[in-house]
C-alpha cells in the first residue's frame, strides 16, 4: 500500500487543490485554459491522501470554484441544476477508486491492471452519476430516455476519460521522477 509521510501528503493535497482550482472554471480546453482536472484530482487524492475528510473538503472546494466562476467569472450556470448534488457520489467513486488502487500499488507491471481497472471503474461510475444524473434529473431535457442518453455517453465519456488519463499520466511521470530522485523503489511503481 502506498503510504506517505504527513508532510508529503500535505504538499500533494495543496497541489491537487490548486490544480482543480486552476482548471475547473473551464470545462473544455482552449488555447488559454487547460481542461478540467477534477476527475484526476479526486482519483489521485484517493491514492495519495490518507484522511477521508479530504474528499468532502475537495468537493466543497469544487463547489466554491463553480460558484466563483459563475458569479464573478461569467461562466454559464447551465450545469447547476437539481442534479448538481450527484457530483458527490461521482467524485466519491473516483476517490474510492483511487483508494482501491493505493492498496495494490507496488513497483511491478502486475499492478498495472489494478490501476487501469480502478481508473476505468471510477471514471465510469463518475460519468454515470454526473452526466447521467444531469441528463435524467436536471430538468433540462424534455423526455430523457436511454435511447438518447447512450449516444450522449458515447460522445462525451471518451473526452472525459482521455482528459483524466492525461493528468494521471503526468502524475505518474512526476511520481516516478520523485521516487527515482529519492531512490525509493517502493514508491516508483
Instruction: Tell me the C-alpha distance between 61 and 45, whole Å.
Output: 13
> Going residue by residue through the chain (189 aa), what tens digit of pLDDT does each one get?
678 899 999 999 999 999 999 888 654 445 456 789 999 999 999 999 999 999 999 999 999 998 988 888 778 777 888 899 999 999 999 999 999 999 998 767 888 899 999 999 999 999 999 999 999 999 888 888 999 999 999 999 999 999 999 999 999 999 888 888 877 544 444
Instruction: Tell me the C-alpha distance between 161 and 126, whole Å.
Output: 10
pLDDT at 126: 97
**Greatest CA separation found in the chain?**
58
* Cα dihedral across residues 153, 167, 44, 98: positive or negative: positive
Instruction: Tell me the C-alpha distance between 73 and 51, whole Å.
Output: 32
The answer to whether residue 73 sits within a structural domain is: yes
The answer to whether residue 1 sits within a structural domain is: no
The answer to whether residue 29 sits within a structural domain is: no
pLDDT at 109: 81
pLDDT at 93: 98
pLDDT at 74: 78
The answer to whether residue 51 sits within a structural domain is: yes
The answer to whether residue 76 sits within a structural domain is: yes
The answer to whether residue 116 sits within a structural domain is: yes
Contacts of 107 (CB under 8 A, 6+ apart): 185, 186, 187, 188, 189
Cβ pair 92, 62 in contact under 8 A:
no
Instruction: Tell me the C-alpha distance between 101 and 81, whole Å.
Output: 32
The answer to whether residue 58 sits within a structural domain is: yes
Question: Cα 27 to chain center, whole Å?
Answer: 13
Query: Between the CA atoms of 44, 83, 117 and 103, what dihedral angle is there, to the nearest 10 degrees?
Result: 50
Instruction: Tell me the C-alpha distance between 49 and 40, whole Å.
Output: 13
Give the residue numbers spanning the domain of 112. 6-24+34-188
Closest CA to 188 of 108, 85, 128: 108
Instruction: Tell me the C-alpha distance between 114 and 120, whole Å.
Output: 10
How many domains is the chain built from?
Answer: 1
- Cα R_g (the chain), whole angstroms: 17
The answer to whether residue 105 sits within a structural domain is: yes
From the number of C-beta atoms within 10 Å of its C-beta (0-12, 13-18, 19+), residue 152 rates as middle
Amino acid at each position: 500500500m502506498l503510504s506517505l509521510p504527513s508532510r508529503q501528503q500535505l504538499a500533494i493535497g495543496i497541489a491537487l487543490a490548486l490544480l482543480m482550482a486552476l482548471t475547473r472554471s473551464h470545462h473544455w480546453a482552449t488555447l488559454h485554459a487547460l481542461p478540467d482536472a477534477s476527475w484526476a484530482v479526486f482519483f489521485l487524492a484517493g491514492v495519495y491522501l490518507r484522511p477521508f475528510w479530504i474528499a468532502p473538503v475537495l468537493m466543497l472546494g469544487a463547489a466554491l470554484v463553480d460558484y466563483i466562476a459563475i458569479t464573478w467569472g461569467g461562466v454559464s450556470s447551465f450545469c447547476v441544476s437539481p442534479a448538481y448534488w450527484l457530483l458527490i457520489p461521482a467524485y466519491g467513486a473516483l476517490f474510492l477508486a483511487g483508494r482501491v488502487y493505493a492498496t495494490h500499488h507496488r513497483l511491478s507491471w502486475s499492478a498495472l491492471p489494478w490501476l487501469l481497472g480502478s481508473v476505468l471503474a471510477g471514471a465510469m461510475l463518475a460519468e454515470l452519476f454526473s452526466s447521467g444524473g444531469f441528463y435524467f434529473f436536471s430538468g433540462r431535457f424534455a423526455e430523457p430516455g436511454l435511447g438518447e442518453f447512450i449516444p450522449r455517453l458515447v460522445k462525451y465519456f471518451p473526452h472525459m476519460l482521455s482528459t483524466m488519463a492525461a493528468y494521471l499520466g503526468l502524475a505518474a511521470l512526476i511520481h516516478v521522477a520523485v521516487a527515482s530522485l529519492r531512490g525509493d523503489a517502493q514508491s516508483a511503481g
